């Protein structure tokens, strides 16, 4: 008959006994995540830019509510047209045909600021200079092509793409996640091993398993104990 149950103390003692393995597993998990993030995952570089949309001629230097609403409505239309085939074809030509229109469409993302006339442009690729080149090409092509497609209004560049920092993968975040997963996995294995361990280590284990008190125990005998040393002649 084995142990009928196991206490939280037993589990904590097991964890404490094998704490070094939890630390080793955490370090291995972090090292593995760092290796995958550095050598196996393709880096992504993002170039950011922005444009301003103007729906019509201004009557005064002060922007009215109706004018802002018209600008915002047109900006949403421009946002969709920004990645349309006619625009991407012109961008591809600016880049000397290095990328197809379908490839460019997958790299370019646009969105409109809430209740504003600003369009934010993001270009993502595995090459920082390519991301900048695409963003600048879009800023150059959009004012010429998009108003024609929309049937009115105008758009102009506000912020140019000055660089393309690395945005993915997050090496630090992946390392932290790897450390956490490694530690949790080692902890879980230790707990499972403790739950299925039927070895009786202490007097309390015997009492719990057999429901009888322990009358006595035999002390551990090391080699040489209890023996009368022989005299050498």
- 208 pLDDT above the threshold of 80: no
Confidence of residue 3 (pLDDT cuts 50, 70, 90): very low
Among 29-33, 73-77, 126-130, 201-205, the minimum mean pLDDT is found in 201-205
Is the pLDDT higher at 230 or at 69? 69
Between 69 and 204, name the one with better pLDDT: 69
pLDDT band at 220 (very low <50, low <70, confident <90, very high): low
How much of the chain, in percent, has pLDDT values that exceed 90? 64
CB of 45 within 8 A of CB of 166? yes
Compute the distance between CA of residue 108 and CA of residue 100 in angstroms, rounded to an integer: 12
Examine the pLDDT at 185 and tell me if it is beyond 90: yes
pLDDT of residue 58: 67
Using 50, 70 and 90 to split pLDDT, how confident is the model at 186?
very high
- State the pairing for strand pair 166-168/44-54: antiparallel
pLDDT score of 105 more than 80: yes
More reliable by pLDDT, 173 or 60: 173
Short-list 108, 107, 125, CA closest to 166: 125
Residue 221, pLDDT score: 63
- Taking a C-beta distance cutoff of 8 angstroms, is the pair 113, 145 a contact? no
Query: What is the average pLDDT across 208-229?
Result: 61
Quote the pTM value.
Answer: 0.73
- Answer with the residue of higher pLDDT: 210 or 110: 110
- Contact present, 16 and 162 (Cβ < 8 Å): no
């Amino acid at each position: 008959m084995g142990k009928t149950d196991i206490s939280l103390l037993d589990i904590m003692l097991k964890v404490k006994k094998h704490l070094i393995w939890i630390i080793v597993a955490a370090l291995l998990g972090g090292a593995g995540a760092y290796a995958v993030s550095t050598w196996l995952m393709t880096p992504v570089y993002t170039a950011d830019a922005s444009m301003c949309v103007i729906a019509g001629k201004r009557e005064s230097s002060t922007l009215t509510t109706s004018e802002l609403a018209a600008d915002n409505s047109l900006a949403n239309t421009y946002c969709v047209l920004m990645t349309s085939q006619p625009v991407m074809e012109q961008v591809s030509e600016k880049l000397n045909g290095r990328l197809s229109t379908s490839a460019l469409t997958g790299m370019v993302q646009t969105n409109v600021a809430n209740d504003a006339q600003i369009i934010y442009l993001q270009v993502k690729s595995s090459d920082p200079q390519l991301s900048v080149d695409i963003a600048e090409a879009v800023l150059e092509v959009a004012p010429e092509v998009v108003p024609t497609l929309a049937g009115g209004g105008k758009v102009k560049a506000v912020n140019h793409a000055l660089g393309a920092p690395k945005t993915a993968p997050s090496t630090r975040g992946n390392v932290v996640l790897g450390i956490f997963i490694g530690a949790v996995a080692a902890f879980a294995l230790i707990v499972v091993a403790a739950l299925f361990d039927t070895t009786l280590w202490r007097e309390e284990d015997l009492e719990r398993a057999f429901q009888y008190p322990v009358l006595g125990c035999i002390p551990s005998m090391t080699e040489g104990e209890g023996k009368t040393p022989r005299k050498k002649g």
